[in-house]
Amino acid sequence: MSKRDDILDRAEELFTEHGFHGVSLAAIAVAAGLGNAGLIHHFPTKRKLYREVLRRLGDELEGVVSDALTGATGPREKLATVVRVVGTWSLQRSGRARLMMRELLDNVDRVDKARTLPLARFLENARDLVTAAQAEGLVRDGEPLAILAQLFGSIAYAQIARPTFAKILGGKLLADDRRWMATIVADLEQTLFA
Amino acid sequence: MSKRDDILDRAEELFTEHGFHGVSLAAIAVAAGLGNAGLIHHFPTKRKLYREVLRRLGDELEGVVSDALTGATGPREKLATVVRVVGTWSLQRSGRARLMMRELLDNVDRVDKARTLPLARFLENARDLVTAAQAEGLVRDGEPLAILAQLFGSIAYAQIARPTFAKILGGKLLADDRRWMATIVADLEQTLFA
DNA sequence: TGACCGACCGACCAGTTGGTCGGTAAGACG
DNA sequence: CGTCTTACCGACCAACTGGTCGGTCGGTCA
């Protein structure tokens, strides 16, 4: 793995845990095993480093979904595939799901287009899928994006809330990861389809 | 309204928009119309100010829910009430929903017990409600907290994602607030109950 | 060999951070 | 009247912020 990727990995961990403003360049540099100036040599500004971290995330999500969609035919199967893939992705890559959530909370007040583009493509495709499924009467009526938001929200939030719930309630009361996520994903299709 | 409450209001706005680390004491002081030292006079540290903001939020949510529950009898009605109330609360107080989400993302690495306590009470009550409803066969099986996470996640995320979606997709494609939230809340009971 | 390169460093910079300190002005209370 | 409290300020502080600078090192290539 290149040093550049190594830096991105460390930075991603830190951004995921503390958010953009909660992480200093110095902290990233230490985590990546180099000095402040060495870090800036690879990424000219903190913001560009952060953008690069998000780009990797967006690319991965888009890739995973579009890969899974190649075999699927028809709106219903496609939509069900998206739900399943996003669910397992959030389970396996819970850190990235958390980071994506942070970005959704933050980027309202950001102007940078480039960062939101990968997410935009993903969203548009998913929305068109819902609309198509609605046209065939497969999916219940309602604002398509709201349905999507509910869908991804169920998954993402469940993933994010888990450690917090565990901490707040003192642990021990939670089932294992698989059962937790199974509870959520298993019913999403049933929820979704009319 | 007391100056103290005024400060809390301004601080809440800023924390909601930028997160704890994204807001400086100076920015809060300016927004509240006093100097840095004047702010510190009212709240000795930034962290305590933030905690107070969260406490108000937790109290409100708990109050709203418990108020609505006084009339309700039986697990099914109670649970349906919670869903409806949290939904409308998230709609009316979308800023607070956003702030709560931020807290869920952040507080994993915080040690402070006091801040999470109001949320804990709310969660425990809701969880017991789900368990009771499951015992009577009203609610589908599965980890109760996972079901709750899915529920609140649907609501909160939908609320949070709305402006972001609008921005990413360039606006104009979204229905109004009421229809958006109606899409989500209307189906939650149907989803929840077996 | 010598010219150039990317990777990286220590020292440094101006500006900002959360927070302290001594003081002051207005009002409440005796 | 004097005393005490509350609300607030300007000046200040050490620590940290993102970022720059000049320079060093080990390689690569002609």
Structure tokens at A33: 């095993």
Summarize the confidence of residues B95-117 as an average pLDDT. Answer: 71
Q: Say yes or no for a CB contact (<8 Å) between B149 and A143.
A: no
Summarize the confidence of residues A8-33 as an average pLDDT. Answer: 95
Summarize the confidence of residues B6-29 as an average pLDDT. Answer: 95
Q: Say yes or no for a CB contact (<8 Å) between A184 and B18.
A: no
Higher-confidence residue of B139 and B18: namely B18
Q: Check if the beta carbon of residue A157 is closer than 8 Å to that of residue B156.
A: yes
Higher-confidence residue of A25 and B184: namely A25
Summarize the confidence of residues B34-55 as an average pLDDT. Answer: 93
Strand stretches in A23-156, DSSP E: none
CB-strand contact A45/D, under 7 Å: yes
What would the DSSP string read from start to end of B115-150? HHHHHHHHHHHHHHHHHHHHHTT-B--S-HHHHHHH
Higher-confidence residue of A102 and B117: namely A102
Q: Check if the beta carbon of residue A142 is closer than 8 Å to that of residue A192.
A: no
SS3 A172: coil
Q: List CB contacts (< 8 A) between B124 and chain A.
A: 169
CB-strand contact B183/D, under 7 Å: no
Q: Say yes or no for a CB contact (<8 Å) between A183 and B146.
A: yes
CB-strand contact B26/C, under 7 Å: yes
| A112 inside 8 A of chain B by CB | no
| pTM of the complete model | 0.86
Q: List CB contacts (< 8 A) between B102 and chain A.
A: 105
Q: What are phi and psi of B155, to 5 degrees?
A: -70, -55
Give Cβ neighbours of residue B84 (< 8 Å, ≥ 6 apart): B68, B185, B189
Q: Say yes or no for a CB contact (<8 Å) between B106 and A173.
A: no
- B residues 140..179 contacting A (CB < 8 A): 140, 142-143, 145-147, 149-150, 152-158, 160-165, 167-169, 173-175, 179
| Residue carrying structure tokens 């960062």 | A115
Closest nucleotide relative to residue A47's CA, C1' based? D18
pLDDT tens track for A84-113: 788 788 878 888 988 988 887 887 555 454
CA to C1' distance (Å), from A110 to C19: 30
pLDDT tens track for B149-185: 777 777 777 777 777 777 766 655 555 666 776 777 6
Provide the pLDDT for residue B111. Answer: 45
pLDDT at B41 over 90: yes
- Comparing every residue's Cα with the C1' atom of nucleotide C16, the nearest one is B24
What would the DSSP string read from start to end of A75-141? HHHHHHHHHHHHHHHHHHTHHHHHHHHHHHHHGGG---HHHHHHHHHHHHHHHHHHHHHHHTT-B--
CB-strand contact A38/C, under 7 Å: yes
CB-strand contact B127/C, under 7 Å: no
**Identity at B146, one-letter amino acid code:** A
Summarize the confidence of residues A155-175 as an average pLDDT. Answer: 67
Percent of chain A scoring above 90 in pLDDT: 30
Nearest Cβ partner for A108 among B142, B164, B191: B164
pLDDT tens track for B71-94: 888 888 888 888 778 878 887 888
Residues facing A125 on adjacent strands: none
pLDDT tens track for A36-47: 999 999 999 999
Question: CA-to-CA distance for A41 and A39, rounded, in angstroms?
Answer: 5
